[in-house]
Amino acid sequence: MKHQVTPYLTFDGNAREAMAFYAKVFESEMEGIQTFGDAEYPTPPEMDDRIMHGRLKKDDLLIMFSDSFVSQSVTVGNHISLALELESEEEINRIYDALRQEGKVFMELQDTFWGAIYAKMQDRFGVMWDLNYTKSSS
């Protein structure tokens, strides 16, 4: 089983500014920026300009970014999660079931509009996780 864990940083409406700052620091490129308004996901109008997902990439460095929902506060401790790209549906189901024990699920394991199976949760130790399995296009 070969995996890479990626830091996923969440901000309170200033993800684009943070991305620009870190892009300069790490001499990397901002890519894949999608706002909540761009997405096929129902959100209130005040979410339209917030970043739903973006990333910085340079060589092996990958950092992902998002803004929080306007109704959720961002505090130290919940503003970073570990994004784990998994290799099979069976594997994501197994890891999801294990991490949710005594934890808190924020987004149930489900099919998504971006062609993946995804869940967001906090495990019993307070670690935030984004689990993702990208389904094959065949």
Per-10-residue mean pLDDT of the chain, 138 residues long, equals: 79 90 86 90 88 91 88 73 89 92 94 94 85 83
Q: What pLDDT is stored for residue 66 in this prediction?
A: 92
**pLDDT score for 127:** 80
- For the chain, list the domains and their CATH numbers: 5-134 (3.10.180.10)
Write down the pLDDT at residue 56: 93
Is the whole-model pTM more than 0.75?
A: no
CB proximity list for 92: less than 8 A, separation 6 or greater: 86, 109, 117, 119, 131, 132, 133
The pLDDT of residue 132? 94
What's the burial of 101, exposed, middle or buried (CB within 10 Å: 0-12/13-18/19+)? Answer: exposed
Are residues 1 and 87 in contact, defined by beta-carbon separation less than 8 angstroms? yes
